Structure 1
Amino acid sequence: MSVAGSIELRKEPFKSSNLAEIKISGEEEYEPNPWKDATPEEWDDWHWQLKHRVTRAEQLKLILNLSQEEIEAIEASKGRLATAITPYFAKLMDRQDSNCPIRRQAIPTLNEFHLSPADLLDPCAEDENSPVPHLVHRYPDRVLLLVTDKCAVYCRYCTRRRIVGESEKSITAEELDQALAYIQSTKKIRDVLISGGDPLLLEDEVLDGILAKIHKIPHVEVIRIGTRVPVTLPQRITPSLTAILKKYHPLWMSIHFTHPKEITKEVRRSCGLLS
């Protein structure tokens, strides 16, 4: 695997800071704490993080001083690109500053819903270049395989907002077979980018199965994964996951960082495990 960047990496199993030590930026105390009853083992469990994602303004009010616009925008996001934030990522937000770069990424504003005639629902023309469901073949030698529409955190700038978070479902076995049959029959394809949603939200055995099938196609030389999970849900990067990924060397991973504030010691550990 290859992880780009200049951060110092540490290859340690994931273990977060003590919960009592995690406070919102600029705050001396973190009260009320909606996750105060979570054990360290629960906090470090990626399934627990997903189960306890913040999706409503009432929840965010417990940890942030929301502006009226943010409250209205969260309500307006229902039925569109949903609001969903892992507890880990929420705790990186500045409690007072609505312009905090972490808040701006994950909490909607009303401007998001002001569409002009020039706005494109599909700016990358993925739908018109999709020969079979969940597969985009826009460039001759590479394809984009969309394996899920679920993300740990829904970024407000998402270019795939027309489909992401719609059902939080993954590609079916039948749909995957159809996509792989197309790749198998199109010999000029040498590069497969696995994306979504976020493919690292698939269970280990599901991701393992997808990678194994792609890896068996003789003319596929490059397999890539596009993800923000090491940033928004570093708890997901476990020894069992990395053991699976290492079976399919060379495997390239594009980790999407947006702001230096995202580079925490938890993220350093997750990238260290991936390196």
Structure 2
Amino acid sequence: MAVVWRQERGLPKEDKRTIALKRAEELKAHISDYLENQKNIPNGFEIQEAYSLAKSKLMQYFQASEQQWNNWRWQMANRVREADVLAQIAELSPEERAAVEKVGREYRWAVSPYYLALAMAGGQGGAIWMQAVPAIEEIKDCYGVEDPMGEEYTSPAPGITRRYPDRLIINVTNQCAMYCRHCQRRRNIGEIDVHKSRQVLEASLQYIRENKEIRDVLITGGDALLLSDRQIDWLLSELDKIPHVEIKRIGTRTPVTLPQRITPELCRILEKYPPIYINSQFNHPLEVTPEAKQACDMLTKAGVVLGNQAVLLKGVNNHPDVMKRLNQSLLKIRVRPYYIFHAKAVKGTRHFITGVDEGMAIMEQLRGYTSGLAVPTYIINAPNGYGKTPVLPQYVIENKNHQVTLRTWEKRIIPYQVNGKH
């Protein structure tokens, strides 16, 4: 009877174990290339020797102690923001120094000593360096726009950006530990760091109080965790008092660019106002370091739920194996890959923008090839503030008469009876 059943369904006649062993060999073949390639895609734990050398060089330049290095305020006060300083520390050529200086006259830049050490360890021109150090391509971009998201047209109250029915953003600062070269809000960076005034924040809170459909509030910037502990405590407490606000979210890249900011004092504040969700932006496996893990461990112990919103960047992570290594490394430090954003057409960032086909190819090599926990959603932000649009490979080929024709992750075409009949 079993043999007849198998023959009717076109299945092999071998015993179950033989079939399973053959299938296991097929699956191993699917991952063999990645296992070989990942040897050339280190994460931050695997370049500690190079990082330590770069860190020592920076500490020597600044005459800094280990205690100072681990102090986030020292890191902020000593951000590298001048071409001459960068040239001395990183041994730039005169031409490289001149290029940084030229771009810096048009676009502000600054990088924390911690992240600069990581960039130096990863190599000049590498994935980390590209995100931190100005490139001459920035001033050659004549196609991008200042505000592709149309945020200025989606601000119904001071400090507020609203693009969805039940949630909104409070923009609290233009300050960051590092001004990412691909930043979507580089128009807001200006010449000085400015936190939003208490008056603006009060107006933002009042708008939320008056609109009872708002259940989800994202605090961002700039980097929201560069507010003082006192200001963060006050803002979270005010949101906590609003009955219809169910969750608070914080947008921050400090676990990546300034993990020293995650202090016991800050965690005690966050612990008081659950549920809090933090989305960071790790873009490359090298950013997943012991320091980043320590910061994420502290946040997790404070009850914070961690997610990651990577940006697809040419020369940084636009390869399936790099993105897979990143997402697998993030899961090891308890950060859930959430989104991959297609880079926006921001003025000065054209050299980072990939084709959508590259993003789709990455998604094809994630789904089925690694655990679902390591598969984020690929997102294109609709222009002019019309929101996030998921972009997915096509897995449903046909759907009619209670039968769906599926394309599996292995590109097998398989009919599926929706009602369960065969």
Q: What TM-score range do you get, normalising by the shorter chain? A: 0.7 to 0.9
Q: Which residue of 2 aligns with 1:211?
A: 236
Identity across aligned pairs (percent)? 41
Matched, 1:40 2:66: yes
User: Which residue of 156, 177, 180 corresponds with 1:131?
Assistant: 156
Aligned partner of 2:91: which letter?
N
User: How far did 1:165 drift?
Assistant: 4.8
Matched, 1:142 2:167: yes
* SS at structure 2 position matched to 1:138: coil
The whole-number CA distance in structure 2 between the counterparts of 1:232 and 1:265 is 13
Q: Which residue of 2 aligns with 1:103?
A: 129
- The structure in which a higher percent of residues are strand is 2
Q: Which residue of 2 aligns with 1:260?
A: 285
Q: Which residue of 2 aligns with 1:90?
A: 116
| 8 Å contact kept, 1:149–1:166 | no
The whole-number CA distance in structure 2 between the counterparts of 1:29 and 1:215 is 40
* SS at structure 1 position matched to 2:180: coil
Moved more, 72-81 or 235-244: 72-81
Taking a change above 3 Å as real, the CA distance of residues 260 and 173 of structure 1, as seen in their structure-2 partners, is: same
CA displacement 1:193-212 (0-9 Å, x = unmatched): 11000011111001110111
**For residues 41-190 of structure 1, what are the structure 2 equivalents within 5 Å?**
41-67=67-93, 70-78=96-104, 80-94=106-120, 97-116=123-142, 118-190=143-215
Q: Which residue of 2 aligns with 1:232?
A: 257
TM-score (norm 2): 0.56
CA displacement 1:148-175 (0-9 Å, x = unmatched): 0000011000001110254311011111
| 8 Å contact kept, 1:237–1:270 | yes
| 8 Å contact kept, 1:70–1:109 | no
TM-score (norm 1): 0.85
Taking a change above 3 Å as real, the CA distance of residues 42 and 94 of structure 1, as seen in their structure-2 partners, is: closer
- The structure in which a higher percent of residues are helix is 2
* CA RMSD, Structure 1 to Structure 2 (Å): 2.3
The whole-number CA distance in structure 2 between the counterparts of 1:124 and 1:201 is 24
User: How far did 1:185 drift?
Assistant: 0.8
Q: Which residue of 2 aligns with 1:8?
A: none
Aligned partner of 1:53: which letter?
R
| 8 Å contact kept, 1:24–1:30 | no
Aligned partner of 1:50: which letter?
M
User: How far did 1:228 drift?
Assistant: 0.5
| 8 Å contact kept, 1:55–1:83 | yes
CA displacement 1:214-240 (0-9 Å, x = unmatched): 111111112100110011111111100
The whole-number CA distance in structure 2 between the counterparts of 1:144 and 1:79 is 31
* SS at structure 1 position matched to 2:268: helix
The whole-number CA distance in structure 1 between the counterparts of 2:241 and 2:55 is 53
The whole-number CA distance in structure 2 between the counterparts of 1:239 and 1:133 is 32
| 8 Å contact kept, 2:55–2:114 | no
User: How far did 1:113 drift?
Assistant: 1.6
| 8 Å contact kept, 1:65–1:96 | no
Aligned partner of 2:76: which letter?
L
Taking a change above 3 Å as real, the CA distance of residues 99 and 242 of structure 1, as seen in their structure-2 partners, is: same
User: How far did 1:133 drift?
Assistant: 2.3
Q: Give the structure with higher Rg (CA).
A: 2
- The number of equivalent residue pairs is 253
The higher-RCO structure (CA 8 Å, 6+ apart) is 1
The whole-number CA distance in structure 2 between the counterparts of 1:89 and 1:139 is 34
The whole-number CA distance in structure 2 between the counterparts of 1:87 and 1:55 is 10
The whole-number CA distance in structure 2 between the counterparts of 1:254 and 1:29 is 27
| 8 Å contact kept, 1:83–1:154 | yes
Moved more, 139-148 or 118-127: 118-127
| 8 Å contact kept, 1:235–1:270 | yes
* SS at structure 2 position matched to 1:66: coil
| 8 Å contact kept, 1:164–1:196 | no
The whole-number CA distance in structure 1 between the counterparts of 2:91 and 2:49 is 15
Unpaired stretches in structure 2, ≥5 consecutive residues: 1-47, 301-422
| 8 Å contact kept, 2:165–2:214 | yes
The whole-number CA distance in structure 2 between the counterparts of 1:35 and 1:62 is 9
Unpaired stretches in structure 1, ≥5 consecutive residues: 1-21
The whole-number CA distance in structure 1 between the counterparts of 2:271 and 2:88 is 40
The whole-number CA distance in structure 2 between the counterparts of 1:87 and 1:26 is 12
| 8 Å contact kept, 2:114–2:257 | yes
